[in-house]
Structure 1
Amino acid sequence: MNKVIISGRVVRDADVRYSQTANGSMAVARYTLAVDRTFKKEGEQAADFISCIAFGKNGEFAEKYLHQGTKIIIEGRWQTGNYTNKDGRKIYTNDCVVERHEFCESRANQQNNSNGIIGRNSPSADSDSFMSIPDGIDEELPFN
Protein backbone atom coordinates (compact mmCIF):
# COMPACT_ATOMS: atom_id res chain seq x y z
CA MET A 1 0.00 0.00 0.00
CA ASN A 2 1.31 3.47 -0.90
CA LYS A 3 -0.70 6.18 0.87
CA VAL A 4 0.44 9.40 2.52
CA ILE A 5 -1.45 12.07 4.44
CA ILE A 6 0.41 15.33 5.03
CA SER A 7 -0.57 18.56 6.75
CA GLY A 8 1.38 21.75 6.19
CA ARG A 9 1.52 25.25 4.76
CA VAL A 10 2.11 26.09 1.12
CA VAL A 11 5.56 27.66 0.79
CA ARG A 12 4.78 29.71 -2.35
CA ASP A 13 1.98 29.89 -4.90
CA ALA A 14 1.61 26.72 -6.97
CA ASP A 15 3.51 26.61 -10.29
CA VAL A 16 0.91 25.44 -12.81
CA ARG A 17 1.53 24.42 -16.39
CA TYR A 18 -0.77 22.82 -18.91
CA SER A 19 0.23 19.77 -20.91
CA GLN A 20 -1.49 18.63 -24.07
CA THR A 21 -3.27 15.27 -23.92
CA ALA A 22 -5.47 13.36 -26.35
CA ASN A 23 -8.51 14.85 -24.57
CA GLY A 24 -7.27 18.46 -24.54
CA SER A 25 -5.05 20.11 -21.96
CA MET A 26 -4.39 18.99 -18.40
CA ALA A 27 -3.21 21.12 -15.48
CA VAL A 28 0.00 20.02 -13.76
CA ALA A 29 0.63 21.91 -10.50
CA ARG A 30 3.83 21.74 -8.47
CA TYR A 31 4.16 23.21 -5.01
CA THR A 32 6.00 22.65 -1.75
CA LEU A 33 4.48 22.10 1.69
CA ALA A 34 6.33 23.11 4.85
CA VAL A 35 5.55 20.43 7.42
CA ASP A 36 6.50 21.14 11.04
CA ARG A 37 8.63 18.51 12.74
CA THR A 38 7.34 17.19 16.05
CA PHE A 39 10.79 17.19 17.63
CA LYS A 40 13.69 19.46 16.79
CA LYS A 41 17.33 18.96 17.71
CA GLU A 42 19.61 21.92 18.32
CA GLY A 43 20.86 23.28 15.00
CA GLU A 44 18.37 21.36 12.82
CA GLN A 45 15.60 22.83 10.73
CA ALA A 46 12.14 22.89 12.31
CA ALA A 47 10.24 21.79 9.19
CA ASP A 48 10.48 19.42 6.27
CA PHE A 49 9.74 20.69 2.78
CA ILE A 50 7.71 18.18 0.78
CA SER A 51 7.44 18.46 -3.01
CA CYS A 52 3.90 17.89 -4.25
CA ILE A 53 2.49 17.43 -7.73
CA ALA A 54 -1.20 17.54 -8.66
CA PHE A 55 -2.73 16.61 -12.02
CA GLY A 56 -5.99 17.50 -13.76
CA LYS A 57 -8.76 18.83 -11.51
CA ASN A 58 -6.42 18.73 -8.50
CA GLY A 59 -3.96 20.87 -10.45
CA GLU A 60 -6.70 23.37 -11.30
CA PHE A 61 -7.72 23.46 -7.62
CA ALA A 62 -4.11 24.20 -6.65
CA GLU A 63 -3.90 27.01 -9.20
CA LYS A 64 -7.08 28.65 -7.94
CA TYR A 65 -6.85 28.17 -4.16
CA LEU A 66 -3.33 27.31 -3.00
CA HIS A 67 -1.35 30.42 -2.17
CA GLN A 68 1.61 31.06 0.08
CA GLY A 69 0.72 30.36 3.71
CA THR A 70 -2.44 28.33 3.04
CA LYS A 71 -2.69 25.43 5.50
CA ILE A 72 -3.92 22.24 3.87
CA ILE A 73 -4.07 18.49 4.30
CA ILE A 74 -3.27 16.39 1.28
CA GLU A 75 -3.85 12.74 0.62
CA GLY A 76 -1.90 10.98 -2.05
CA ARG A 77 0.88 8.53 -2.84
CA TRP A 78 4.66 8.73 -2.66
CA GLN A 79 6.50 8.55 -5.96
CA THR A 80 10.22 8.30 -6.62
CA GLY A 81 11.87 8.83 -9.96
CA ASN A 82 15.03 9.89 -11.70
CA TYR A 83 16.25 11.65 -14.80
CA THR A 84 19.53 12.71 -16.36
CA ASN A 85 20.08 16.48 -16.41
CA LYS A 86 21.77 18.44 -19.19
CA ASP A 87 25.18 17.94 -17.51
CA GLY A 88 24.76 14.16 -17.71
CA ARG A 89 24.22 13.72 -13.96
CA LYS A 90 21.48 11.43 -12.69
CA ILE A 91 18.97 13.32 -10.52
CA TYR A 92 16.70 11.45 -8.09
CA THR A 93 13.25 12.82 -7.20
CA ASN A 94 10.73 12.25 -4.39
CA ASP A 95 7.23 13.69 -4.75
CA CYS A 96 3.83 13.33 -3.19
CA VAL A 97 1.32 12.82 -6.01
CA VAL A 98 -1.81 14.54 -4.69
CA GLU A 99 -5.11 12.73 -4.95
CA ARG A 100 -7.08 15.02 -2.63
CA HIS A 101 -6.75 18.45 -0.94
CA GLU A 102 -8.58 19.83 2.10
CA PHE A 103 -8.28 23.17 3.86
CA CYS A 104 -7.22 23.08 7.55
CA GLU A 105 -8.47 26.49 8.60
CA SER A 106 -11.10 29.04 7.72
CA ARG A 107 -10.30 31.86 5.33
CA ALA A 108 -10.49 34.38 8.22
CA ASN A 109 -7.94 32.41 10.28
CA GLN A 110 -5.74 32.06 7.23
CA GLN A 111 -5.76 35.81 6.64
CA ASN A 112 -5.12 36.51 10.33
CA ASN A 113 -2.21 34.04 10.40
CA SER A 114 -0.68 35.47 7.24
CA ASN A 115 -0.85 38.96 8.73
CA GLY A 116 0.48 37.81 12.10
CA ILE A 117 -2.74 38.92 13.81
CA ILE A 118 -4.42 36.94 16.55
CA GLY A 119 -8.21 36.75 16.45
CA ARG A 120 -10.03 39.50 18.33
CA ASN A 121 -11.60 37.17 20.91
CA SER A 122 -8.65 34.84 21.38
CA PRO A 123 -6.16 35.12 24.25
CA SER A 124 -2.86 36.68 23.29
CA ALA A 125 0.12 34.51 22.38
CA ASP A 126 3.71 35.33 23.19
CA SER A 127 6.43 35.18 20.54
CA ASP A 128 7.25 31.62 21.69
CA SER A 129 3.74 30.49 20.59
CA PHE A 130 2.55 29.72 24.12
CA MET A 131 -0.80 31.15 25.12
CA SER A 132 -0.91 33.27 28.28
CA ILE A 133 -3.21 31.95 31.01
CA PRO A 134 -5.36 34.75 32.41
CA ASP A 135 -4.89 35.71 36.09
CA GLY A 136 -7.31 34.17 38.60
CA ILE A 137 -8.01 31.01 36.62
CA ASP A 138 -5.87 28.73 38.84
CA GLU A 139 -8.87 27.29 40.69
CA GLU A 140 -10.48 26.22 37.40
CA LEU A 141 -7.48 24.26 36.12
CA PRO A 142 -7.76 20.43 36.41
CA PHE A 143 -4.18 20.23 37.75
CA ASN A 144 -1.99 22.16 40.20
Structure 2
Amino acid sequence: MLNRVVLVGRLTRDPDLRVSQNNISVGNFTLAVNRPFTDQNGERGADFINCVVFRKQAENVQKFVQKGSLVGVDGRLQSRSYENKDGQRVYVTEVVCDNVQFLEPKGRQQSSNQAGNAAEAYPSNSYGSGNQSYGSRQEENPFANSTGNVDISDDDLPF
Protein backbone atom coordinates (compact mmCIF):
# COMPACT_ATOMS: atom_id res chain seq x y z
CA MET A 1 0.00 0.00 0.00
CA LEU A 2 1.09 3.56 -0.63
CA ASN A 3 0.06 6.60 1.39
CA ARG A 4 2.09 9.61 0.30
CA VAL A 5 1.08 13.28 0.13
CA VAL A 6 3.13 16.12 -1.37
CA LEU A 7 1.65 19.64 -1.23
CA VAL A 8 2.76 23.21 -1.84
CA GLY A 9 0.65 26.02 -0.48
CA ARG A 10 0.35 29.02 1.80
CA LEU A 11 -0.54 28.95 5.49
CA THR A 12 -4.03 30.29 6.18
CA ARG A 13 -3.16 31.19 9.78
CA ASP A 14 -0.14 31.25 12.07
CA PRO A 15 0.90 27.74 13.13
CA ASP A 16 -0.28 26.48 16.51
CA LEU A 17 2.29 24.76 18.76
CA ARG A 18 1.37 22.60 21.75
CA VAL A 19 3.26 20.14 23.92
CA SER A 20 1.63 16.73 24.43
CA GLN A 21 1.37 14.85 27.73
CA ASN A 22 4.42 12.85 26.60
CA ASN A 23 6.39 16.11 26.25
CA ILE A 24 6.34 15.99 22.42
CA SER A 25 5.94 19.22 20.43
CA VAL A 26 2.90 19.12 18.13
CA GLY A 27 2.28 21.79 15.49
CA ASN A 28 -0.92 22.35 13.53
CA PHE A 29 -1.48 24.54 10.51
CA THR A 30 -3.74 24.75 7.47
CA LEU A 31 -2.44 25.02 3.91
CA ALA A 32 -4.36 26.69 1.09
CA VAL A 33 -3.50 24.77 -2.07
CA ASN A 34 -4.62 26.09 -5.46
CA ARG A 35 -6.67 23.77 -7.63
CA PRO A 36 -5.25 23.11 -11.11
CA PHE A 37 -8.38 24.32 -12.91
CA THR A 38 -10.74 27.26 -12.99
CA ASP A 39 -14.49 27.27 -12.37
CA GLN A 40 -17.19 28.56 -14.73
CA ASN A 41 -16.40 32.14 -13.69
CA GLY A 42 -12.72 31.72 -14.55
CA GLU A 43 -11.67 31.75 -10.90
CA ARG A 44 -9.24 29.26 -9.41
CA GLY A 45 -10.49 27.52 -6.30
CA ALA A 46 -8.39 26.28 -3.40
CA ASP A 47 -8.42 23.36 -1.02
CA PHE A 48 -7.71 23.93 2.66
CA ILE A 49 -5.69 21.04 4.05
CA ASN A 50 -5.10 20.52 7.78
CA CYS A 51 -1.53 19.49 8.60
CA VAL A 52 0.17 18.24 11.76
CA VAL A 53 3.90 18.10 12.44
CA PHE A 54 5.84 16.77 15.42
CA ARG A 55 8.97 17.34 17.53
CA LYS A 56 11.74 19.71 16.36
CA GLN A 57 10.09 20.16 12.96
CA ALA A 58 6.97 21.50 14.76
CA GLU A 59 9.10 23.97 16.72
CA ASN A 60 10.80 25.15 13.52
CA VAL A 61 7.47 25.63 11.75
CA GLN A 62 6.18 27.73 14.65
CA LYS A 63 9.39 29.75 14.74
CA PHE A 64 9.99 30.41 11.04
CA VAL A 65 6.64 30.54 9.21
CA GLN A 66 3.48 32.55 9.63
CA LYS A 67 0.16 33.20 7.92
CA GLY A 68 0.80 33.59 4.18
CA SER A 69 4.15 31.75 4.15
CA LEU A 70 4.76 29.44 1.19
CA VAL A 71 5.70 25.92 2.31
CA GLY A 72 6.00 22.46 0.85
CA VAL A 73 5.00 19.42 2.86
CA ASP A 74 5.73 15.74 2.39
CA GLY A 75 3.83 13.25 4.51
CA ARG A 76 0.94 10.84 4.75
CA LEU A 77 -2.83 11.14 5.00
CA GLN A 78 -4.34 10.14 8.33
CA SER A 79 -7.94 9.83 9.51
CA ARG A 80 -8.88 9.75 13.17
CA SER A 81 -11.89 10.40 15.35
CA TYR A 82 -12.59 11.55 18.88
CA GLU A 83 -15.53 12.40 21.08
CA ASN A 84 -16.04 16.12 21.72
CA LYS A 85 -17.35 17.78 24.90
CA ASP A 86 -20.96 17.32 23.73
CA GLY A 87 -20.46 13.57 23.32
CA GLN A 88 -20.52 13.73 19.51
CA ARG A 89 -18.08 11.74 17.37
CA VAL A 90 -15.81 14.09 15.36
CA TYR A 91 -13.86 12.78 12.35
CA VAL A 92 -10.62 14.44 11.29
CA THR A 93 -8.55 13.91 8.13
CA GLU A 94 -5.13 15.55 8.09
CA VAL A 95 -1.67 15.30 6.59
CA VAL A 96 0.95 14.05 9.05
CA CYS A 97 4.05 15.86 7.80
CA ASP A 98 7.33 13.98 7.64
CA ASN A 99 9.06 17.00 6.13
CA VAL A 100 8.16 20.69 5.86
CA GLN A 101 10.17 22.90 3.50
CA PHE A 102 10.15 26.69 3.85
CA LEU A 103 9.96 27.88 0.25
CA GLU A 104 10.71 31.56 0.68
CA PRO A 105 13.06 33.62 2.83
CA LYS A 106 11.43 34.73 6.08
CA GLY A 107 12.18 38.44 5.57
CA ARG A 108 10.81 38.40 2.04
CA GLN A 109 7.43 37.02 3.10
CA GLN A 110 7.15 39.57 5.91
CA SER A 111 7.96 42.47 3.60
CA SER A 112 5.28 41.26 1.18
CA ASN A 113 2.68 41.27 3.94
CA GLN A 114 3.71 44.78 4.95
CA ALA A 115 3.27 45.91 1.38
CA GLY A 116 -0.31 44.70 1.36
CA ASN A 117 -1.31 41.52 -0.39
CA ALA A 118 1.30 38.76 -0.37
CA ALA A 119 -0.40 37.06 -3.32
CA GLU A 120 0.51 39.99 -5.57
CA ALA A 121 4.21 39.59 -4.81
CA TYR A 122 4.40 35.97 -5.97
CA PRO A 123 3.07 34.44 -9.17
CA SER A 124 0.44 31.77 -8.58
CA ASN A 125 1.02 28.24 -9.78
CA SER A 126 -0.95 28.01 -13.01
CA TYR A 127 -0.19 24.31 -13.63
CA GLY A 128 1.15 24.66 -17.15
CA SER A 129 -1.33 27.16 -18.52
CA GLY A 130 1.32 28.34 -20.96
CA ASN A 131 1.17 32.03 -20.09
CA GLN A 132 3.77 32.06 -17.34
CA SER A 133 6.49 34.66 -17.50
CA TYR A 134 9.88 33.39 -16.40
CA GLY A 135 11.78 36.64 -16.83
CA SER A 136 14.64 37.11 -14.41
CA ARG A 137 13.96 39.82 -11.88
CA GLN A 138 16.83 41.29 -9.95
CA GLU A 139 15.23 40.77 -6.52
CA GLU A 140 14.76 37.03 -7.18
CA ASN A 141 18.46 36.34 -7.78
CA PRO A 142 20.19 35.76 -4.42
CA PHE A 143 23.61 35.94 -6.13
CA ALA A 144 23.00 39.18 -8.05
CA ASN A 145 25.33 41.27 -5.87
CA SER A 146 27.92 38.51 -5.49
CA THR A 147 31.43 39.22 -6.68
CA GLY A 148 33.55 36.26 -7.66
CA ASN A 149 32.77 32.57 -7.41
CA VAL A 150 30.09 31.10 -5.21
CA ASP A 151 31.28 28.09 -3.21
CA ILE A 152 28.57 25.40 -3.31
CA SER A 153 29.29 21.80 -2.37
CA ASP A 154 27.44 18.82 -3.83
CA ASP A 155 25.75 18.34 -0.44
CA ASP A 156 23.99 21.71 -0.87
CA LEU A 157 22.32 20.69 -4.15
CA PRO A 158 18.80 19.23 -3.96
CA PHE A 159 19.43 16.77 -6.81
TM-score by structure 2 length? 0.65
Q: Alpha-carbon deviation of 1:112?
A: 4.7
Given the superposition, is the C-alpha separation of residues 72 and 29 from structure 1 closer, same or farther in structure 2, using an over 3 Å criterion? same
Contact map agreement 2:71 2:102 (CA 8 A) in 1:
yes
Q: Contact 2:65 / 2:106 at 8 angstroms: preserved in 1?
A: no
Q: 1:27 to 1:105 in 2, by over 3 A?
A: same
Pick one of 12, 31, 34 that aligns with 2:32: 34
CA shift for structure 1 position 45: 7.0
1:8 aligns with 2:6: no
Deviation at 1:66, TM superposition (A): 1.7
The Cα of 1:40 is off from its aligned counterpart by 2.6
Q: Percentage identity across aligned positions?
A: 36
TM-superposed CA distance for 1:96, in Å, is 0.3
Asked whether the 8 Å contact 1:58–1:98 carries over to 2, the reply is: no
Who wins on radius of gyration, i.e. which is larger? 1
TM-score, normalised to structure 1, is 0.71
Alpha-carbon distance in 1 for matches of 2:40, 2:83: 36
Alignment of 1:1-144 (within 5 A): 1-21=2-22, 25-42=23-40, 46-107=45-106, 109-114=108-113, 115=115, 116=117
> 1: distance between equivalents of 2:92 and 2:80?
5
CA distance in 1, matches of 2:97, 2:31: 12
Provide Cα deviations, 1:114-134, integer angstroms capped at 9, x if missing partner. 334877xxxxxxxxxx87xxx
Which residues of structure 2 form unaligned runs of 5+? 122-131, 134-159
CA distance in 2, matches of 1:105, 1:48: 21
Distance 1:111 1:66 in 2: 10
Higher strand proportion (structure 1 or 2): 1
Equivalent position amino acid for 2:32 in 1: A
Query: Structure 1: how far apart are the matches of 2:40 and 2:55?
Result: 41
Contact 1:14 1:31 in 2 (8 A): yes
Q: Which amino acid aligns with 1:4?
A: V
User: Where does the alignment leave 5 or more consecutive residues of structure 1 unmatched?
Assistant: 120-129, 132-144
Aligned length: 119
